[in-house]
Structure 1
Amino acid sequence: MKSLNILSGGAAHGLVASLTPAFKDLTGFDIAGDFGAVGIMADKLRRGSPADIVILTAALLAELAEEKLVVAATIADVGLVETALAVRTADPEVTARDAAGLRAALLASDAIFVPDTKASTAGIHVAKVLQQLGIAEEVAARLRIFPSGATAMSELAASDARRPLGCTQSTEIISTKGVKLSGALPTGFELATMYTAGITTAASHPQQARELIDLLIGAGQHEQRKRAGFMSEPQPGQRAPT
């Protein structure tokens, strides 16, 4: 079976996986490629990794279009993804309603599982939040940093820490067995990131890439996107990225 090559942020992994059977039925193609930190995926495309379609943050897609690596006219919004807290399935939920609550929750945790703090959307944001709360140095030894949010959540699920906590994008929490969505970040610390899809200028299968984008953004998949953790609009108190 032929495959459509994809480079995608980890935030879209669960949604793409849920649409793969329909895509196979429609096109006869499988989906192959990498999912991970958006910065790393963008750099893979820049280095020449084969890809028909990319799903990354809106800001990165705009950069790649300027660099003539993505066809600007094909770029389409998939949806917003919030950065949120996660706990193991059997653990009580952790809710942070304000800065004091978030600070207390992070200080009470003996292991904090996060994605790459230099290349992933959520990881970069977590690092900023810790600085904003004034506890970056205090919790540095408790940080458990992994290449992607999905990996971080899998490690959280397997953790034997007394009171572990995770923070990554909601889609990666929802799609990982053994963890559950515990709550959004409070006002002033929230982040809702728009993810977009686009066809690469070097695509070997542009028609099939277009058909996958149509599946990703189609009205018929609204509930599927919602279940995967994508939002159409920011929720009250959230802010879209600049």
Structure 2
Amino acid sequence: MMRTLRSVLRKFVTVAFLAGALAAAHVQSAELHVMTSGGFTAAYQLLGPRFAAATGNTLETVQGPSMGKSAAAIPNRLARGEPADVVIMVGYALDELIKEGKVIPGSRVELADSRIGMVVRAGAPKPDIGSLDALRQTLLHAKSIAYSDSASGVYIERELFKKLGIEDDVKPKAKMIPRIPVASVVATGDYEVGFQQVSELLPVKGVTFVGTIPESVQSVTRFAAGIPAGASHPQEAEQLLHYLASPEARPAVESTGLQPVGEH
């Protein structure tokens, strides 16, 4: 009975949103500029077209890491004055932009949590990472290790290796991969194992997802979104953020390996 009631309520909310969005579309459509980091990209690629179809707005999207020195990083894009109505990124990196006055205070919307996982090349044996010792042995025996230049990679480089007590042993064969998905360099055989947030690993072909690292050394990354100061379409941007965080968006978010906020 409760499941039926929840299903009815979810459908009602969806219909209400779409009806309101369609009504707004008749008034005026907008071209929204969206910047999104890799962790939420797969979910956004599912939800963005639905929002656009419902509202009549168009979405011009660029991707980049939430932090780092690369030109594609979202903070660096904003610093260059690239247009943005919405930024979707790691929560603590978004908070820094709010402190700097680059994102409107109060516009922050919580989206989803992401865990770190590992992949190997398709066809390769799946190593055991189910316990701390198993993960430690897998890393010690791996010929090469790749990790991202965003939140998960920073954690791996600065904390995980130390927690496992193998920093000196693995650092010479471990490398941070800028700009591109870590799984892509594992798929080509350039690296034996790769670590990144699960939602960024799953879409890449040519690799096998091994699993998430043990919870005792796991780092959960919160993704959030906000509206930059000087956004051309703040009202439509707020509508997009509301939709991405809505109950009807949760199945799509979950399907990409993320955990929607509020469903712990």
TM-score when normalising by structure 1: 0.85
User: Are 2:121 and 1:91 aligned?
Assistant: no
Give the Cα separation in 2 of the matches to 1:138 and 1:177: 30
Structure 2 CA distance for partners of 1:176 and 1:2, relative to 1, 3 Å:
farther
1:29 is aligned to: 58
Segment of structure 1 superposing worse, 210-219 or 77-86? 210-219
Q: 1:79 is matched with which residue?
A: 112
Instruction: State the Cα deviation string for residues 183-209 of structure 1 (Å, max 9, x = none).
Output: 111133101111101111111122332
Aligned counterpart, 2:217 = 189
Q: Which runs of 5+ in 2 are unaligned?
A: 1-28
How big is the shift at 1:123? Answer: 0.8
CA distance in 2, matches of 1:210, 1:228: 23
RMSD across aligned positions (CA): 2.4
Distance change in 2, residues 1:235/1:28 (3 Å): closer
Unaligned 5+ residue runs, structure 1?
Answer: 237-242
1:11 is paired with a residue whose SS is: helix
In structure 1, how many angstroms separate the alpha carbons of the residues matched to 2:33 and 2:214?
A: 37
Aligned length: 230
Post-superposition shift, 1:37? 4.2
1:159 counterpart = 2:189? yes
Deviation larger for 95-104 or 41-50: 41-50
CA distance in 2 between counterparts of 1:146 and 1:206 reads 34
> How much does 1:233 deviate?
5.7
Provide the residue aligned with 2:133 in structure 1.
Answer: 100
Q: Does the 8 Å contact 1:80/1:234 carry over to 2?
A: no
Query: 1:125 aligns to what?
Result: 155
- Return the match for 2:165 from 102, 119, 134: 134
| Greater than 4 Å deviation, 4+ residue runs | 233-236
Q: CA deviation at 1:90?
A: 2.6
SS of the aligned residue for 1:175 comes to coil
* TM-score (norm: length of structure 2): 0.78
Rg (Cα) greater in structure? 2
Identity value in percent: 26
